[in-house]
Amino acid sequence: MENTLQLLSGNEALALGAYHAGVQVACAYPGTPSTEILENLARFKDIYAEWSTNEKVAMEVGMGASYTGARTMVSMKMVGLNVAADPFMAASITGVIGGLVVISADDPQIHSSQNEQDNRHYARLAKVPMLEPSDSQDVYDLMNYAFDISEEFDTPVLFRTTTRIAHSKSVVNADKIRVVKNLQPAFLYNPQKYIMLPVNALPRHTKVEERMIKLARYCETFPMNQVIWNKKKIGIVTSGVAYQYAREAFPEASFLKLAMTWPLPQKMIKSFAAKVENLIVIEELDPFLQDNIKAMGIKVSGKEIFPIVGELNTRIVTESSIGAGLIPESEKSVVLPPAEGLPKRPPLLCPGCPHTGIYYTLNTVGQRTKLAESSTPQEPKLIITGDIGCYTLGAYPPHNVLDTTACMGAGIGQALGMEKAGVKSKVVAVIGDSTFMHSGITGLVNAVYNQGHITILILDNHTTAMTGHQEHPGTGVSAQGKETYTVDIESLCKGIGVKDLKVINAFDLKALRTGLRDSIDKDELSVIIVRGACAVQVKKRQNPRKIDVEKCTQCGICLKLGCPAIQSANGQVFIEPTLCAGDICGLCEQLCPQKAISA
């Protein structure tokens, strides 16, 4: 490896950095923009990598591994840390043995999430150190520090990236080699550290406070916190990708670039502030740095100038700064508005998607098109609580089949809540197989125990599709590609006590309609497992369907499937053969009243 320059995404650099830093155990639950970290780590056969059932479990597996002295990484998207918050807080108080690095990949701008939360607050809440890289090289270089700090200070380390760091690629000089310090992990009896009974927890809290004092001293000389001197009229404190935008917008300013953003180096910040005329903070999302710097008694501005909502970019930083008089008006560039009136292109269910048939059925049984097109809010005939996954796309036209989507696993609880509150409509909950494993099971247990009458549709496409087709406990394959035990959803539901349980082929429209009708008309809780493989994972494509223009009356029913392969141009409906999934699907063929569609 003479030429070590590589073009790596933040996630690739993270996996490589962790590998070189000697990580031995890695666990995660998929979630954009964090997923590729574990996918990349899983390729190294000399570490153990797993997809955990959910983030809480991943964190607990991580704690156990760390207690034995193994270097451990737990990665997740930012909302995953909400799920894992309980063990994360616990790991803070027990501390670690082997370095425990927790990756939170935040998603400013909500590219693919359900909120825009700023997880830097978790570092403060949990009293743990936090590192924030500003490009892939930073990611790689910080990894070693992350594990070292964790071990030296007996604490988990929060490593926070954002979508623009995780998914951007930049040049990395990967100049280290893998070193593993603790080749034989071992757990040593130490109840004062590991058993958080009140008698032990209170003294541990004292230790946590002492650790924060030591860390506050350490961060003053942390080598990757950097001062870049230039003109002293404007001094900018920044971190993460915001640093890049700020550098571009302010070529003449001085910078304090922080790679460790909790605790903050108070002396360093004070001394930087004292040397510049005007101190500003440029950061994405909340005024985290700004508020904490203000609390040091330093005069600073930030969110008065730059937006809290959404990602930053160089244009936003420049325009906001012009507005505040920090950059002269003359620097303003003329920006054209986007071209008007262009049709949008939202994401769609793929051709051959196993969610399409049940969504068509729910749409018609629940008269959802009428509901969506009504000008005043109506009570749905069939209330459908949704969840998170590819199947959330059913919220869009032409399906319009979802009434709610909150966080993973929420749909089943919400459905029961509506029923118990006394709505007159029937309530159906829709949940994917990976989401069911993640956090649907407890909702089902609750609904059975509390005698709900809801219908639960488990859309079992045998993968975690939304995030790029990861394995999960129901697929029978491990994160590292080994065959393993398959958790059987039917037996699970039966064991919980579900009496009315049906398994229906996702591509059989008649069976879907009869099954759905039967379940919603029943006065008891019902589970339907709608089973069909994710089209992306079926490699074999045969016999794309064609429309016989002689027979077609242009009724447009097939278009209501929302299949991207079924298109219409100049008044004629046609099936794009390069997109059609062919034999694995056949939904349009079943639907066409004129029998105009065939192979």
Interface residue with ligand TPP, options 24, 467, 519, 526 (CB under 6 A): 467
Pairing assessment for the beta strands 157-162 and 100-106 based on DSSP bridges: parallel
Q: Is 9 in the site for ligand TPP (CB under 6 A)?
A: no
On whether the CB atoms of residues 551 and 595 are closer than 8 A, the answer is yes
What does 345 interact with, of ligand TPP, ligand SF4, other proteins, none (CB < 5 to 8 A by kind)? other proteins
What does 433 interact with, of ligand SF4, ligand TPP, other proteins, none (CB < 5 to 8 A by kind)? ligand TPP
CB atoms within 10 A of CB 145: 22
Ordered alpha helix ranges (H), 276-386:
288-294, 314-323, 355-365, 368-373
Q: Is 434 in the site for ligand TPP (CB under 6 A)?
A: yes
CB atoms within 10 A of CB 325: 10
Q: Is 240 in the site for ligand TPP (CB under 6 A)?
A: no
Task: Select from 198-206, 261-269, 310-318, 412-420 the region that touches other proteins (CB under 8 A).
Answer: 310-318
Beta strands in 359-460 (DSSP E): 382-385, 426-432, 455-460
Shortest separation between residue 528's beta carbon and ligand SF4, angstroms? 17
Binding mask 76-115 for other proteins (x = CB under 8 A): -----------------------------------xx---
Tokens describing residue 463 = 């993968």
Q: For residue 491, how far is the Cα from the chain centroid?
A: 29
Shortest separation between residue 358's beta carbon and ligand SF4, angstroms? 11
Per the DSSP assignment, residues forming a β-bridge with 575 are 566
Own/partner contacts of 480-483, CB < 8 Å, gap of 24 or more, are 480/42, 480/45, 480/49, 480/50, 481/42
Q: Is 468 in the site for other proteins (CB under 8 A)?
A: yes
CA distance 122 to 399: 38
Interface residue list for ligand SF4 (CB under 6 A): 349-350, 353, 355, 390, 461, 465, 534-536
Q: Is 569 in the site for other proteins (CB under 8 A)?
A: yes
Of 40 and 92, which has the nearer Cβ to other proteins? 40
Q: Is 357 in the site for ligand TPP (CB under 6 A)?
A: no
Instruction: Report which residue type is found at 541.
Output: R
Q: Is 17 in the site for ligand TPP (CB under 6 A)?
A: no
Task: Select from 180-188, 260-268, 295-303, 328-336 the region that touches other proteins (CB under 8 A).
Answer: 328-336
CA distance 531 to 355: 9
DSSP 477: B
φ, ψ of residue 7 in degrees (nearest 5): -95, 105
How wide is the angle at C-alpha 355 spanned by C-alphas 354 and 361, nearest 5°?
Answer: 115
Interface residue with ligand TPP, options 466, 520, 529, 563 (CB under 6 A): 466
Position with the least CB separation from ligand TPP: 432
What does 83 interact with, of ligand TPP, ligand SF4, other proteins, none (CB < 5 to 8 A by kind)? ligand TPP
Given the structure tokens 């065939």, which residue do they identify? 598
- Footprint of ligand TPP on 50-79 (CB under 6 A): 55, 77, 79
Residue 182, CA atoms < 13 Å, CB-side half-sphere:
20
Q: Is 390 in the site for ligand TPP (CB under 6 A)?
A: yes
Shortest separation between residue 543's beta carbon and other proteins, angstroms? 18
CB atoms within 10 A of CB 531: 19
Beta strands in 402-532 (DSSP E): 426-432, 455-460, 500-505, 526-531
Shortest separation between residue 172's beta carbon and ligand SF4, angstroms? 30
Q: Give the residue from 209, 327, 333, 222 showing the smallest Cα distance to 268.
A: 222
State how far the alpha carbon of 390 is from the alpha carbons of 14, 224, 386, 486, 508, in Å.
Answer: 27, 40, 11, 22, 20
Task: Select from 193-201, 444-452, 458-466, 588-596 the region that touches ligand TPP (CB under 6 A).
Answer: 458-466
Residue 356, CA atoms < 13 Å, CB-side half-sphere:
29
Q: Is 31 in the site for ligand TPP (CB under 6 A)?
A: yes
Q: Is 391 in the site for ligand TPP (CB under 6 A)?
A: yes
What does 313 interact with, of ligand TPP, ligand SF4, other proteins, none (CB < 5 to 8 A by kind)? other proteins
Q: Is 461 in the site for ligand TPP (CB under 6 A)?
A: yes
Name the site residues for other proteins (rule: CB under 8 A). Answer: 5-7, 111-112, 135, 164, 167-171, 241, 244-245, 247-248, 313-315, 333-339, 341-350, 390, 393, 396-398, 466, 468, 556, 559, 562, 564, 566-569, 578
Name the site residues for ligand TPP (rule: CB under 6 A). Answer: 29-31, 55, 77, 79-80, 83, 388-391, 408, 432-435, 461, 463-467
